[in-house]
């Protein structure tokens, strides 16, 4: 005896919802804001699932917009002016730079609600993420070149010009980096950073502790080749870059790589655990990673020139640029 099962009528829009006309309208959504599934469903008269399937067929996926510092007209003008000259510099020039930056690390520093989702039957079954109202944090300083790294410098409390000069400029740059003579057999944060230490060009951003007359005089005395952070040098110093170059300097990308590894699961619950992982990542940094990051700078500088001083587009890939480095490390 055979039993026939009656299927319920199919719900949702028709199978033919993704007509060429609707697909063209979905394709027109690329790069535009406010294109949610709900809005498009009501606009096109098809189901949300059909809208989602249409985007998948077109290869259009939803991404969160990155956050960048705002560029004023003055910043764009200076960036374009610098790029006109610096775009002709080769890899050997950028290998002379000691690129430095500070970063505040917190215990809750890498939580992404979009990625940290849990499958459950209802929201009540999903545990909330516990976060401290005042999480532990620590500011650290780090410098990099195409060959090696500096030691990490920890700051407890506020940082002013004299603290920065004592702990970084004097102790690390003059007392450590410029004294290094060996590369073989040394850990990454103790290796010789330049072919000739006298060729070093020290780079720093426009943070307030950097931009003091005392620190400017100290650098002119101990390592004259540096990027000045006082506006009076705009027209007189060829190494004046101005502020707002976070999309260019390699250390910003290095911070991002280290953040993913420092905040890997299981995540540290105390700032001491964050710092321990960060020290491990500094010691375990692959020298080839540093080389590739620095060798990307000529392509990035030419891209800034192409966009006339504006921010480098988020989809820009230095390795696909006509100005990409062709050395064995970058091609591997």
- Do 231 and 97 contact (CB within 8 A), yes or no? no
Alpha-carbon distance of 232 to 225, in angstroms, equals 17
315 by Cβ neighbours in 10 Å (0-12 / 13-18 / 19+) ranks as: exposed
**How many C-beta atoms lie closer than 10 Å to residue 291's C-beta?**
20
Beta bridge partners of 262: none
Q: Name which of 106, 105, 127, 102 is nearest 117 in CA terms.
A: 127
SS3 content of the chain, % helix, strand, coil (to 5): 40, 10, 50
Q: Could you tell me the residue ranges of all domains in the chain?
A: 16-58, 73-331
Give, as one character, the DSSP assignment of residue 121.
Answer: S
Torsion of CA 236, 239, 244, 246, to 10 degrees: 180
Q: With contact defined as beta carbons under 8 Å apart, do 80 and 309 qualify?
A: yes
**What is residue 322's predicted lDDT score, i.e. its pLDDT?**
95
- Looking at residue 266, what is its pLDDT? 87
Q: Which two tokens stand for residue 130?
A: 């516990």
Question: Residues with Cβ < 8 Å from 267, sequence gap 6 or more?
Answer: 110
What pLDDT score was predicted for residue 84? Answer: 97
B/e letters for 193-213, b = 16+ CB within 10 Å, e = fewer, are bbeeeeebbbbbbbeebbbbe
Per-residue pLDDT of the chain (332 residues; tens, 9 = 90+): 555 555 566 565 555 688 888 888 888 888 787 778 888 888 888 888 888 888 888 888 777 666 667 789 999 999 999 999 999 999 999 999 999 999 999 987 655 555 555 655 666 666 665 665 556 889 999 999 999 999 999 998 889 999 999 999 999 999 999 999 888 889 999 999 999 999 999 999 999 999 999 999 999 999 999 999 999 999 999 999 999 999 999 999 999 999 999 998 888 889 999 999 999 999 999 999 999 999 999 999 999 999 999 999 988 999 999 999 999 999 98
Going from the C-alpha of 68 to that of each of 58, 246, 257, the distances in angstroms are 28, 8, 17
Buried b (16+ CB within 10 A) or exposed e, 29-50: beeeeebeeeebbeebebbeeb
SS3 176: coil
Rounded Cα distance between 97 and 222, Å, is 16
Predicted confidence at residue 158, as pLDDT, reads 85
User: Is the Cβ–Cβ distance between 153 and 279 less than 8 Å?
Assistant: no
Give the Cα separation of 307 and 286 in Å (integer). 32
DSSP-derived pairing of the beta strands 97-106 and 137-144: antiparallel
pLDDT confidence of residue 1: 53
**CA-based torsion, 87, 89, 95, 100: positive or negative:** negative
* CATH superfamily, with its number, for domain 73-331: Ribonuclease H-like superfamily/Ribonuclease H (3.30.420.10)
pTM of the shown model: 0.78
What whole-number distance in Å separates Cα of residue 97 and Cα of residue 251? 11
């Amino acid at each position: 005896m055979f039993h026939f099962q009656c299927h319920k009528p199919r719900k949702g829009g028709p199978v033919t919802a993704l007509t060429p006309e609707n697909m063209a309208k979905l394709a027109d959504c690329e790069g535009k804001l406010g294109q949610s599934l709900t809005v498009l469903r009501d606009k096109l008269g098809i189901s949300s699932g059909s809208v989602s399937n249409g985007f998948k067929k077109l290869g259009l996926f939803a991404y969160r917009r990155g956050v960048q510092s705002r560029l004023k007209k003055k910043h764009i003008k200076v960036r374009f002016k610098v790029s006109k000259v610096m775009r002709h510099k080769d890899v050997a020039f950028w290998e002379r730079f000691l690129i430095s930056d500070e970063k505040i690390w917190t215990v809750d520093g890498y939580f992404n609600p979009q990625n940290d989702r849990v499958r459950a039957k209802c929201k009540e079954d999903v545990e909330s993420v516990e976060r401290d109202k005042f999480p532990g944090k620590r500011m650290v300083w780090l410098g990099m070149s195409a060959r090696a790294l500096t030691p990490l410098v920890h700051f407890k409390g506020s940082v002013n010009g004299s603290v920065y000069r004592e702990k970084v400029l004097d102790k690390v740059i003059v007392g450590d980096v410029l004294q290094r003579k060996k590369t073989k057999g040394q850990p990454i944060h103790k290796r010789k950073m330049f072919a000739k230490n006298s060729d070093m060009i020290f780079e720093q951003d426009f943070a307030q502790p950097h931009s003091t007359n005392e620190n400017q005089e100290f650098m002119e005395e101990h390592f004259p080749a540096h990027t000045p952070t006082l506006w009076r040098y705009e027209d007189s110093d060829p190494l004046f870059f101005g502020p707002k170059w976070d999309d260019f300097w390699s250390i910003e990308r290095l911070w991002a790589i280290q953040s993913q590894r420092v905040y890997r699961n299981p995540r540290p619950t105390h700032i001491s655990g964050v710092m321990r992982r960060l020290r491990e990542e500094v010691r375990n940094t692959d020298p080839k990673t540093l080389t590739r990051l620095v060798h990307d700078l000529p392509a990035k500088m030419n891209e800034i020139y192409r966009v006339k001083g504006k921010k480098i587009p988020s989809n820009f890939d230095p390795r696909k640029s006509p100005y990409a480095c062709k050395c064995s490390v970058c091609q591997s």
